[in-house]
């Protein structure tokens, strides 16, 4: 994992899964996802081979939790590899994994079912995110709706809040800041209480939306609150798996984003300049924040 994160190893889907399967002693019937699709059109369809590999679960009539744990680990690797491999290339594997998770649900109950529902929501959210990046404005919210429903069914306040925050992000990007602000505020109020990482992201979303509607006094307060909450968690293991990336460096970049949205150019420049050096291994993110830094400098 650390080699991937530090960009010391180039990743492909098959390579990742083979390594994890060996390390976790995954049973033979769950090993060996296919190579990435050569055809773009084929990559959007489900992979029947993974479905075939979970037949063992149905034959034996019990839930193999190791299968779900393995799929969760693979999804975690895919999140970290996305910047290098590309979401479209990983789509068939992640969608197939979602098929596998949902196939396990009818035979599960209690805490196991809740775990599977959250895992299904994680996959659906990822598919929504990739679809949004590909300009698929119909499929993207449809996947997000599935994720939200599964998060509610699981009783996961953190996942429910996160999916709501993503909806706010989409809405703001589509030019409706008033609705985005309302949605972000709801993300902060998920029943059951939020962990600091989730609360931080919800507060950040509210800060950016507040800035977009002209609440530039409120926005910095929310941004500082979001930053402080993010710093309460020292390791990725303490955060929800989908927020593995919310390191102190990323939190500082989000602080800069909120300042940029509020037209506080000097604060934005300071935050971006301080953190940009840490993004050398993430070319897309580095380019994005470099552009924001240069624009903030021109405006300061």
Considering only CA atoms, which of 133, 160, 126, 148 is closest in space to residue 244?
Answer: 126
Cα–Cα dist 64/36, whole Å: 26
More confident residue, 153 or 14: 153
Segments making up each domain of the chain, as ranges: 1-109
pLDDT per residue as tens digits for the range 118-135: 999 999 999 999 899 888
Q: Which residues contact 156 (CB under 8 A, 6 or more apart)?
A: 114, 117, 118, 121
More confident residue, 226 or 54: 226
Average pLDDT over residues 193-217: 96
Cα–Cα dist 228/233, whole Å: 10
DSSP 8-state assignment for residue 33: P
Length of the chain: 300
Tell me, what's the pLDDT at 44? 40
CB 45 within 8 A of CB 22: no
What does the block give as tokens for 208? 């950016």
Considering only CA atoms, which of 211, 197, 114, 212 is closest in space to residue 162?
Answer: 197
Q: Is the pLDDT of residue 99 over 90?
A: no
More confident residue, 242 or 29: 242
CB 76 within 8 A of CB 126: no
Q: What average pLDDT is seen over the chain? A: 80
- 55 band by pLDDT with thresholds 50, 70 and 90: very low
């Amino acid at each position: 994992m650390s080699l991937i994160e530090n960009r010391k190893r180039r990743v492909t889907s098959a390579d990742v899964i083979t390594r994890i399967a060996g390390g976790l002693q995954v049973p033979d019937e769950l090993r060996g996802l296919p190579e990435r699709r050569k055809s773009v059109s084929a990559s959007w369809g489900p992979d029947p081979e993974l479905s075939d590999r979970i037949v063992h679960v149905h034959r034996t009539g019990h839930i193999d939790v190791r299968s779900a744990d393995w799929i969760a680990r693979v999804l975690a690797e895919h999140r970290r590899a996305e910047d290098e491999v590309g979401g479209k290339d990983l789509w068939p594997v992640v969608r197939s994994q979602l098929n596998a998770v949902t196939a396990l649900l009818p035979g599960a109950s209690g805490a196991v079912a809740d775990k599977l529902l959250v895992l299904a929501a994680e996959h659906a959210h990822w598919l929504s995110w990739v679809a949004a990046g590909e300009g698929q404005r119909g499929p993207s919210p449809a996947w997000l709706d599935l994720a939200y429903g599964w998060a509610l069914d699981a009783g996961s306040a953190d996942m429910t809040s996160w999916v709501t925050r993503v909806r706010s992000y989409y809405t703001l990007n589509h030019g409706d800041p008033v609705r985005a602000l309302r949605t972000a505020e709801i993300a902060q109020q998920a029943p059951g209480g939020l962990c600091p990482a989730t609360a931080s992201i919800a507060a950040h979303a509210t800060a950016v939306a507040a800035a977009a509607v002209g609440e530039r006094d409120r926005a910095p307060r929310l941004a500082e609150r979001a930053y402080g909450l993010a710093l309460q968690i020292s390791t990725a293991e303490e955060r929800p798996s989908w927020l593995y990336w919310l390191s102190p460096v990323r939190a500082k970049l989000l602080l800069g984003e909120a300042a940029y949205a509020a037209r506080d150019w000097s604060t934005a420049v300071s935050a971006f300049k301080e953190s940009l050096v840490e993004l050398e291994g993430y070319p897309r993110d580095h380019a994005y924040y470099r552009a924001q830094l240069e624009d903030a400098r021109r405006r300061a």
